[in-house]
Structure 1
Amino acid sequence: MGYQAKFRVWRGAGRPDETITATEADGALHDYEVEVNEGEVVLDVIHRLQQTQTPDLAVRWNCKAGKCGSCSAEVNGKPRLMCMTRMSTFDEAETVTVTPIRTFPLIRDLVTDVSYNYEKAREMPAFAPPPGVEPGEYRMQQVDVERSQEFRKCIECFLCQNTCHVVRDHEENKPEFSGPRLFIRAAELDMHPLDDRADRKEFAQAEQGIGYCNITKCCSEVCPEHIHITDNAIIPMKERVVDRKYDPITWLGSKIGRRKS
């Protein structure tokens, strides 16, 4: 059975955290009352707002099935996929506030510019097999497949990037920090027995800024695919970097091996 829900939605091209000084033209939270039916999600309500009250509301979405990652937003202050956030999780008398994800530049309303993530992805050396290995000649053990399979579930919604305080609260860190989404990519390639393109551990430390991460696990908490980003990707990579850089036995072994070669 339907009911009238109270929604508060960000409108405009100014950031929500600038509302103290922003004018109405820059952006503001607007209050709406909109019909909600049984089984609907937040994205359904946003679409109904577009259809009935605010046809110029800007929102990004595609699959509406939790697989494209397009409809990322902050619902009542928590980064979520709107298509996976059921209205039944809110009290009928509760005001549901929807604002754009905070870490990236705002374009308008609920749409942000997430190109930062693609720029960082282009910086990472691509996967490449060793020279001389032809397609079909290499066989992976199932255990090697399973190790990195979890990371391939990433839908690039960038909620982990958005909630990471290293860039969320410190814009100046963006040039040196790639963020959780790219760390799981580095871990996936580092675990792949066929990857021969680059030293992923060295790259994570020197170019991706993995040392900035202090493993608060906020990225894992918001991941809609329930990837254990911190425990299974970031911590192992940080441990390998520390072993490589600071463990005296590992350091001595690398020197001896280099001298023999």
Structure 2
Amino acid sequence: MGTTRHFRVWRGDDEGGSLNDFDVEVNEGEVVLDIIHRLQATQAPDLAVRWNCKAGKCGSCSAEINGRPRLLCMTRMSTFTETETITVTPVRAFPVIRDLVTDVSYNYEKAREMPAFAPPADLAPGEYRMQQVDVERSQEFRKCIECFLCQNTCHVVRDHEENKENFSGPRMFIRAAELDMHPLDARDDRKEHAHSDQGLGYCNITKCCTEVCPEHIKITDNAIIPMKERVVDRKYDPVTWLGRKIFRRDQINQ
């Protein structure tokens, strides 16, 4: 038999809104998304929420639950006390469209700016070969479901709207790191692009992005910090600098 729990859900649009109070039935084993669906079915049929798989794999149902960026479908009601009020709000870093739905097009715009994988010119499709160790090295980053919780919690994006033009965010940094360490990627300017065009230097490695990742990707330790180190080595290491001058590979920084 279910119990009645108190919810506060943000309702509004790009012109403003407020938290609305609801008392909703909650049954054993349910997640927050179940309750949002029950609200739609019984009390707020016009409540807008984005979702798709309800299995933690599509990344659609990102929101903030009691102030913490989470997936609605992966947050169990059993994690809250019976007397606790559950507050559900849209993610803060992106413009609100309506209710819990936000405009995350910023992330797709940044994705389009990412230089695509460039296969070796001397190999035809079907001739690509990789060592298993190289496959495993970047496999962690392929788990990203693009929920953009890391983008939302990153204070460079979240608290400074003016940074968005010059900052791609942690989701794009793991993609840049993945391509940079790919043995078959023919581009040699991934580090320069991350530094000059994606704003890698803005990140001060607070690890907030890693903490909210539902796929437990070590974004900071395994992608951002190594990428920063490779940028420094390439740009400031005197031996590397001299080698690039000798072999005339420094034009890209001009």
TM-score, with structure 2 as normaliser: 0.96
Asked if the contact 2:14/2:95 (under 8 Å) is kept, the reply is no
Asked if the contact 1:125/1:198 (under 8 Å) is kept, the reply is no
How large is the Cα RMSD of the aligned pairs?
1.1
Counterparts of 1:24-173 in structure 2, within 5 Å, are: 26-173=16-163
**Which stretches in structure 2 are left out of the alignment for 5+ residues?**
250-254
Which residue in the other structure is 2:167 paired with? 177
Deviation (angstroms), 1:250 = 1.8
| Alpha-carbon distance between aligned partners in 1 of 2:187 and 2:36, rounded to the nearest angstrom | 45
The 3 A distance-change label for structure 1 pair 251 and 217 is: same
Per-residue CA deviation, residues 126-148 of structure 1 (Å, 9 max, x unaligned), is: 11211131112121000000011
Give the aligned length. Answer: 249
Residue 174 of structure 1 aligns to a residue whose secondary structure is: helix
| Alpha-carbon distance between aligned partners in 2 of 1:179 and 1:104, rounded to the nearest angstrom | 13
Deviation (angstroms), 1:198 = 4.9
Deviation (angstroms), 1:160 = 0.2
Equivalent of residue 218 in structure 1, options 208, 213, 216: 208
Asked if the contact 1:6/1:34 (under 8 Å) is kept, the reply is yes
| Alpha-carbon distance between aligned partners in 1 of 2:188 and 2:23, rounded to the nearest angstrom | 54
Which residue in the other structure is 1:239 paired with? 229
Deviation (angstroms), 1:247 = 1.5
Deviation (angstroms), 1:51 = 0.1
| Alpha-carbon distance between aligned partners in 2 of 1:128 and 1:257, rounded to the nearest angstrom | 22
AA aligned opposite 2:105: S
Which residue in the other structure is 2:252 paired with? none
**Which stretches in structure 1 are left out of the alignment for 5+ residues?**
16-25
Equivalent of residue 184 in structure 2, options 178, 194, 202: 194
Per-residue CA deviation, residues 163-191 of structure 1 (Å, 9 max, x unaligned), is: 00001000000000000000000000001
Identity of aligned residues (%): 83
Per-residue CA deviation, residues 12-38 of structure 1 (Å, 9 max, x unaligned), is: 1158xxxxxxxxxx3110000000000
| Alpha-carbon distance between aligned partners in 2 of 1:101 and 1:164, rounded to the nearest angstrom | 12
TM-score, with structure 1 as normaliser: 0.93
Which residue in the other structure is 2:9 paired with? 9
| Alpha-carbon distance between aligned partners in 1 of 2:19 and 2:188, rounded to the nearest angstrom | 47
Asked if the contact 2:48/2:98 (under 8 Å) is kept, the reply is yes
| Alpha-carbon distance between aligned partners in 1 of 2:18 and 2:126, rounded to the nearest angstrom | 57
Deviation (angstroms), 1:253 = 2.4
Asked if the contact 2:92/2:152 (under 8 Å) is kept, the reply is yes
